[in-house]
Amino acid sequence: MIMDVNAYGCSLPGCNGPMSGVCINGLNFEECPDVVANLVADDISVSVDDSPRSSDLVSTRGLSSLDALSCDSLLRARGGIVVGVVAGPEVGKTTMIATMYEMLHRGHIPDVQFAGSETLRGYEERCHLARVASNGLIPNTPRTPTSAKLSFTHLRLATTEGIKEIIFSDRSGEHFDNVLDNPASIVEFSELARADVILLLVDIEHFLKAPHLPTSRLRRLLMTMDQQSLLTRKTVRLVGTKADLAKSKEDLKAARVSLRDLASDLTSRTNGRVEITPLLIAARRRDGATEIAEGLKELLFEILKDPAPFAAEQVFAWPVHLTEMDKLMHVYRSKK
Amino acid sequence: MMMNQLIVGMPNSGKSTFIAALRHVFVANEVSTELELTGLADNEAHLNRLEDDWLACNRVSRTKPTTEGWVQFNVRDRRSGVESILSIPDLRGEAFEQPACNGQCNKELYDALIDTDGVLLFTNADKEDDMLLIADLMDILGPPELVESSDAQQKFDVFKPENMPEEVKIVEFLQVANRRPLSPRCRKVAVMISAWDVVATMGRTPDQWLLENRPMLAQFLITNSMLWNSRVYGVSAQGGKLPQMKASLEKVVRPSERIRVVGHGAQPHDLSAPLSWLMSGQC
C-alpha cells in the first residue's frame, strides 16, 4: 500500500514530512522515526483527555500487516521464506495462519521458538475470535473481506539451524474465484511469483460431501499457475483443512485417502514437474484427538526446510570472434 | 556517572509500588542492600507521595497524566563504591501500550528507550490469563449450551487493540528498541514478576514461572539474547495483597521487611539488587 502522505506529518520543526516529499534527515519516510500520523480521535486507544499531542508521538512502525512494499523491504533487509496461500473463500486460510502463531508463541512446537514479529497486532486481530477475551461462545476467525488487498504477516523463528523469517500471504478467497474467470490475471498475484512455498488449501469437509466442484477448481487454479510458471522450483503442498470437523476415525481415513488421490491427480497434471504432496490439518482440536492443531507442526517443518539445491544446466558458447579476454578465459576453461 | 534505567510495564503491573518501596528501602536503610542512597534529589515530591501510600499500606495510586514524571535516585554500589544517578521514569502503563496498539510512542519515552542502559520490566503474576483460548475453556467446561450455532457465532466483542494480551504489548515495545532505522545493540533487562507472594507458594522459580506463564516473552528473550541480556526476579514490593492483608502488613515492625525479592542471589528484601545488576558492567 502506498503511504497516504496527507495522513502523516513530522515531529521535527521545519520538516513537513511525507506531505512535502522531502525528509530533512534524508531518510525514507517508511523508516524515519520522526514521521507521525495526523491523528484522528478514533485512532487513539487512550481516552481523549489523556491523549498526547501528535507532535509528541513517534511512529514505531509496528504494523497490523505488511503490504507488498513493506514486505519487499523486509525481505531485502533480512531475507525470508515466503509462503503463498491459495484458497477460495472460507476454506480456512486465516485460521491456519492464526493457529500457527498461537502454537508458536505458546511454545507448543518443539525445536522452534518465537523470536519476534513485525505484525503482532495483525496476528492478534486474527486470533481474537478464538480467545475468551472476545466473549465468544465458540472459536471463530474473522473473515478476510473481499475488499481487503493483498497483505502479509511475519514471524521470526529460532530453529536448530538458526533464525528464520517466515512471511505468509493473505488475500481474500474471492480473488482466487475471480482468477478462475480470468486466468491470465494471476500474474498480478505477486506473492505467488515470489513464494518459496505454495499451499493449495481445500476444505476437507466440503470436499468429502461434494468433491467435484473443489476438484475442478483446484485443477484450474493449478493449470493457471503452471501456465504462468508460478510453480517452478517451489515446494507445493495440498493442505486439507478443517480435519477437526471429522466426526469419526472412518471420516478421517476417508479424508486422507481422498486428499492423497487429489494430490496425485494434480501432480499428474503438471506432467510430474511439480510434486504435490498432501497434508491434513486441524487448526482446532478434533474430538478424541490427543494432539492440538494436528498437521500444523509438519506443515511448519516443511516450510522451514531448506529447498533442494537447484542444479542449473550450464549452457555456454564462445563468440565467433574471440577477444583477448575470451582467449585467456578459453585457456582457463579448457583446464577446468 | 549518569545511568538511565527504564521501568517498563503495562497498567497495574506494579511499577509505582516498586518505586515507592525502593524509596523506602533506600531512605530507611534497615535491610541489607547492594545499593545505598547517597543523598536526596532536588525534587522529591512525587517520591514522597508514593512512599506515604506505601507506608500506610494503601494501594499505591495509579500514575495519572498529572503525576507522571522522572524520579531520581543518587546511589552508591556498596561493593565497588561507584556512585551513580539513577534516572527512572514513572509513566502510566498506557504509554507502553501505544507501540503495539497504534504503532506510535511518546517521543520522550521513545528517546528514553533508545538511550537506556537497562530495563526493569514488570509483569503482574496476580492477573487473569488474557490469552486463554475458548477451545481450552471448552475442554474444561464442556461445549456451551447453544440455542442455535449461528447465534453463537455472532456473539462476540469486536477487537480492541488496548485489550491485546500483555505479553504482546511488551514484546512489541522491546522490538521498537532495535527496529530500523535504529542500530541494534545489546541491553540488559531484568524481568520483575510482581505480586510474587501469590506465586511463592507454588514452588516455582521466577524463570520457570516466566516460561510457563509468559511463554511468548520468555521465548523472545531467550532467542534474542544477543540483544537482551535478561534475568528474571520475583518481587513482592507491597508484601501481600491489599486490602486483604493490610492489617498484618501494618504490624511489621520494619516496613522494609514486608518486601520479598527472589532470584540471582538477591538478599530477601533487597529491591536494589536488580538495579545493581543493570548498572554493573557491559551487556
Q: Same domain, yes or no, for A211 and A255?
A: yes
Q: Are strands A35-37 and A8-10 parallel, antiparallel or unpaired?
A: antiparallel
From the list A315, A308, A314, the residue with the least C-alpha distance to A233 is: A308
Give the pLDDT confidence of B9-59 residue by residue, as tens digits: 998 899 999 999 999 999 999 999 999 999 998 888 889 999 999 999 998
**Structural domains of chain A, count:** 2
**pLDDT of A312:** 65
pLDDT in tens, chain B (283 residues): 777 788 999 988 999 999 999 999 999 999 999 999 999 988 888 899 999 999 999 988 777 777 777 888 999 999 988 888 888 888 888 899 999 999 999 998 999 999 988 999 999 999 888 888 888 777 777 777 655 556 655 678 899 999 999 999 999 999 999 998 899 999 999 999 999 998 877 889 999 999 999 999 999 999 999 999 999 999 999 999 888 889 999 999 999 999 999 999 999 999 999 999 998 878 8
Pairing of strands B69-77, B83-90: antiparallel
Domain for residue A135, yes or no?
yes
What pLDDT shows up at residue B266?
Answer: 96
Chain A: closest CA distance from residue B222 (Å): 8
CATH, residue A137: 3.40.50.300
Residues A58, A20: one domain? no
Examine residue A298 and state whether it is found in any structural domain, yes or no. yes
CA torsion sign, A122 to B137 to A301 to A235?
negative
What structural domains does chain B harbor?
2-130+165-279 (3.40.50.300)
How far apart CA B8 and CA B10 sit, in angstroms, is 7
CB B120 within 8 A of CB B190: yes
User: Of the given ranges (A3-7, A162-166, B31-35, B224-228), which has the lowest mean pLDDT?
Assistant: A3-7
pLDDT number for residue B86:
86
Q: What is the pLDDT of residue B252?
A: 93
- Coil, strand or helix at A20: coil
| Residue A312 domain flag | no
Residue A200 domain-assigned (yes or no):
yes
Interface of B with A in 221-250 (CB under 8 A): 222-224
Tell me the three cell numbers of residue A185: 490475471
Any idea of the CA torsion for A66, A72, A75, A77, to the nearest 10 degrees?
-100
Indicate the DSSP class of residue A87. -
> Measured between CB atoms, which of A33, A106, A129 is closest to B215?
A106
Q: Does the beta-carbon distance from A131 to B220 stay under 8 Å?
A: no
A contact residues 280-319, partner B, Cβ 8 Å cutoff:
284-285, 292
Give the C-alpha distances (Å, rounded to integers) separating B210 from A42, A76, A154, B173: 35, 34, 24, 18
Query: How close B267 comes to chain A (CA, Å)?
Result: 32
Residue A282 has pLDDT above 50, yes or no: yes
Q: Are A75 and A14 in the same domain? A: no
Backbone angles phi, psi at A144, to 5 degrees: -75, 115
Q: Are residues A104 and A137 in the same domain?
A: yes
Q: How far apart are the C-alpha atoms of A221 and B56, rounded to whole Å?
A: 71
**Residue appearing with cell numbers 471429522:** A246
Task: Tell me the CA distances in angstroms from B214 to B41, B193, B218, one per residue in order.
Answer: 36, 10, 6
> Which pLDDT score is estimated for A218?
95
Test the A interface: residue of B115, B163, B169, B219 with most A CBs within 10 Å: B219
CA distance A197 to A234: 6
- pLDDT of residue A254 exceeding 70, the answer is yes
Q: What is the pLDDT of residue A48?
A: 35
Which one has a higher pLDDT value, A26 or B130? B130
DSSP A66: B
Over residues A246-271, mean pLDDT: 89
Residue A23 pLDDT > 90, yes or no?
Answer: no
Residues A195, A268 share a domain: yes
Least confident of A140-154, A192-206, A280-294, B190-204: A280-294
In A92-131, the residues whose Cβ lies within 8 Å of chain B are 102, 105-107, 113-118, 120-121, 124-125, 128-131
% of chain A exceeding 90 in pLDDT: 54
Is residue A76 located within the same domain as residue A176? yes
Which one, of B161, B165, B170, lies nearest residue B131 by Cα? Answer: B165
The secondary structure of A234-286 as a DSSP string is -EEEEEEE-GGG--SHHHHHHHHHHHHHHHHHHHHTTTTSS-EEEEE--SSPP
Statement to judge: residues A183 and A92 lie in one domain: yes
Residue A58, classed as helix, strand or coil, is: strand
Q: Which residue has the higher pLDDT, A148 or B153?
A: A148
Please name the residue that has the C-alpha cell 474471492. A174
Report the DSSP beta bridge partners of residue B144.
none
Does residue A13 sit in the same domain as residue A62? no
Q: Range of A9's domain?
A: 1-39
Q: Is A331 part of any domain?
A: no
User: For residues A169 and A245, which has the higher predicted lDDT (pLDDT)?
Assistant: A169
In this structure, are A13 and A69 located in the same domain? no
Grid cell for residue B155:
456473539
Query: Are A142 and A248 found together in one domain?
Result: yes
Q: Are residues A280 and A235 in the same domain?
A: yes
A36-78, pLDDT tens digit by residue? 666 443 333 333 344 444 558 899 877 788 999 999 999 999 9
**Dist. CA A247–CA A243, nearest whole Å:** 9
- Rounded to two decimals, the ipTM of the complex is 0.90
